[in-house]
Amino acid sequence: MIRRTVLITLSLAAFGTAGLWLIGYMTPLTWSHQTKTRLVVIAVSDGELMLRRRSSTLDWRSSPATHDDAWPLKQVKHGPYLGIRLELAKASVGEAGAIYGSKTVIPLWLVFTLLIFYPAAAFLRGPVRRRRRRRRGLCVQCGYNLTGNTSGTCPECGVAVAG
Ligand SMILES: [Zn+2]
């Protein structure tokens, strides 16, 4: 039951991701949340998910410069690793203030692949196992060896045997 819930949740998340992926090509999507000292932006566009975070030791309202969307200097870039890019940045503001920023870009095909992997494997496992058992002359239901069996049913589980 838990397994089924996990499979359904992962599948829905995967198809949700695929939907965002497609929509992001037509219209860039952006969500942002801002507090006094922190800005968090989540955006989807051109097949990528971007997480951007900025925090400041200063109040945004008292130092409008930190509010500026321009990416501060002194950034360190990592990646891409499988299309994942990470940028870290720090900038000094005024006398004692500092802004810390981070930007993570993850390709949506990677998110989709990770989410769909387990549901797809679970979905394909049944047919693959049945075909392998049929080829080896085993009962497709329980795997019992049916060599020499002419009764038309599996003696182990009672399922009807074809041919
Ligand atoms: Zn059987």
In a domain, 86, yes or no: yes
Per-residue pLDDT at 144: 92
In a domain, 72, yes or no: yes
Ligand 1 centroid to residue 7 C-alpha, Å: 27
Per-residue pLDDT at 67: 47
In a domain, 46, yes or no: yes
**What domain range is 96 assigned to?**
27-107
In a domain, 67, yes or no: yes
In a domain, 32, yes or no: yes
Ligand 1 centroid to residue 129 C-alpha, Å: 13
Per-residue pLDDT at 60: 62
Per-residue pLDDT at 61: 60
**What is the maximal distance between C-alpha atoms in the chain?**
90
In a domain, 129, yes or no: no
In a domain, 79, yes or no: yes
In a domain, 154, yes or no: no
Ligand 1 centroid to residue 148 C-alpha, Å: 14
Per-residue pLDDT at 112: 94
pLDDT under 70 in the chain at which residues? 59-74, 92-96, 162-163
Per-residue pLDDT at 8: 93
Per-residue pLDDT at 49: 94
How many domains are contained in the chain?
Answer: 1
Ligand 1 centroid to residue 48 C-alpha, Å: 48
Per-residue pLDDT at 35: 84
Ligand 1 centroid to residue 26 C-alpha, Å: 52
Ligand 1 centroid to residue 3 C-alpha, Å: 25
pTM (2 decimals)?
Answer: 0.67
